């Protein structure tokens, strides 16, 4: 899977579907969703950020870079205390990946531990990528895995994870997040509703990786079933 991430920062258990799917404008996707199409069967058009957009991003970075860094360090401390130094970070693509990379770097710098870090997909209503889970469990003990996301909103992905992970003995459905304003988990950096700057730039800051995609004519049974397109 191609991306702009460094190979040492994350292993992407995702299928590269570059050129296989034509992105669609928001209006067209909304119309199809209203007609019954699942959101994961389409890709949105992701635009190059405008000058005004970048200005807003830089303002967010100015005000929230420090709170985000502090949240990541607090979360790293909690992760080591809860999981130990054998922890394997499993980021939920795509919002979880930047936070997972920050956690990996923080844990390495503060604790001298080079934690494994992977990215896999989970889709609301379609479940987790079972091929990716088989890959992980063939290489790591179930108790070592820890799922990572950027934040918890209404908890839809957490509920999907809890439902899916029930069939994997020894794997916990905990999610480590930088921000949890919903007060769902203590495995978070903060319960404040901070603006994590990486949430502002979509694929531009997310490794040039698209939103979630899953369609039978593109993702085969032996592929990583929930794929991403290189943008």
**pTM for the structure as a whole:** 0.89
Instruction: Report pLDDT for 92.
Output: 93
Among positive and negative, which fits the CA dihedral 163, 165, 171, 176? negative
Question: Is residue 90 one of the residues assigned to a domain?
Answer: yes
What letter does residue 18 receive in the DSSP assignment? T
CA torsion sign, 143 to 147 to 153 to 155? negative
Total number of domains constituting the chain: 1
Task: For residue 127, give the CATH number of its domain.
Answer: 3.40.50
| pLDDT tens track for 82-112 | 999 999 999 998 889 999 999 999 999 999 9
pLDDT band at 228 (very low <50, low <70, confident <90, very high): low
Tens of pLDDT along 14-60?
888 788 888 888 899 899 989 888 888 888 888 788 899 889 889 99
99: closest CA among 80, 73, 72?
A: 72
Encode pLDDT of 130-187 as tens digits: 999 999 999 999 999 999 999 988 778 888 899 989 889 999 999 999 999 989 888 9
Tokens of 109: 């710098």
Q: Is the pLDDT of residue 207 over 80?
A: no
- Report the alpha-carbon distance of residue 102 to residue 90 in Å, rounded: 13
* CB 197, CB 98: distance < 8 Å: no
Give the C-alpha distances (Å, rounded to integers) separating 171 from 42, 120, 162, 175.
Answer: 31, 15, 10, 12
Is 73 inside a domain boundary?
yes
Q: Is 209 within a domain?
A: no
Nearest residue to 42 (alpha-carbon basis) of 57, 20, 61: 20
Distances (CA, A) of 226 to 8, 31, 98, 181, 187: 22, 23, 19, 28, 26
The pLDDT value recorded for residue 123 is 85
DSSP bridge partners of 94: none
Range of the domain at 95: 11-204
Q: Decide if pLDDT at 200 tops 90.
A: no
In contact, 76 and 103? CB cutoff 8 Å:
yes
pLDDT in tens, 51-87: 998 898 899 999 999 999 999 999 999 999 999 999 9
Residue 220: predicted pLDDT: 80
Do the domain assignments include residue 179? Answer: yes
pLDDT (0 to 100) of residue 126: 84
Q: Tokens representing 42?
A: 């389409």
* Alpha-carbon gap, residue 191 to 186, rounded angstroms: 8
Residue 112 lies in a domain: yes
Pairing of strands 145-151, 175-179: parallel
Backbone angles phi, psi at 88, to 5 degrees: -120, 115
Distance of alpha carbon 42 from alpha carbon 26, whole angstroms? 10
Answer yes or no: is 63 within a domain. Answer: yes
| 231 inside domain | no
pLDDT for 79 equals: 97
Distance CA 83, CA 153 (A): 24
The answer to whether residue 202 scores a pLDDT higher than 80 is: no
Say if residue 231's pLDDT is above 60. no
- In a domain? residue 220: no
In contact, 73 and 136? CB cutoff 8 Å: no
């Amino acid at each position: 899977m191609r991306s702009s991430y460094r190979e040492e920062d994350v292993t992407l258990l995702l299928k590269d579907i570059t050129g296989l799917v034509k992105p669609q404008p928001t209006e067209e996707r909304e119309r199809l969703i209203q007609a019954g199409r699942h959101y994961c069967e389409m890709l949105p058009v992701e635009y190059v950020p405008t000058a005004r957009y970048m200005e807003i991003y830089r303002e967010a970075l100015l005000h929230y870079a420090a709170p985000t860094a502090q949240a990541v360090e607090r979360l790293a401390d909690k992760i080591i205390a809860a999981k130990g130094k054998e922890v394997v970070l499993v980021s939920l693509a795509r919002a979880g990946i930047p936070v997972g990379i920050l956690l990996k770097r923080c844990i390495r710098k503060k604790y001298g531990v080079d934690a494994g870090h992977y990215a896999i997909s989970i889709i609301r209503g379609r479940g987790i990528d079972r091929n990716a889970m088989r890959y992980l469990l063939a290489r790591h003990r179930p108790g070592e895995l820890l799922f990572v996301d950027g934040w918890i909103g209404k908890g839809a992905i957490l509920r999907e994870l809890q439902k899916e992970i029930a069939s994997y003995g020894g794997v916990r459905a905990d999610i480590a997040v930088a921000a949890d304003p919903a007060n769902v988990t203590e495995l978070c950096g903060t319960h404040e509703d901070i603006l994590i700057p990486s949430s502002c730039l979509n694929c531009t800051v997310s490794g040039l990786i698209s939103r979630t995609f899953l369609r039978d004519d593109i993702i085969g049974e032996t592929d990583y079933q929930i794929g991403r397109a290189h943008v």
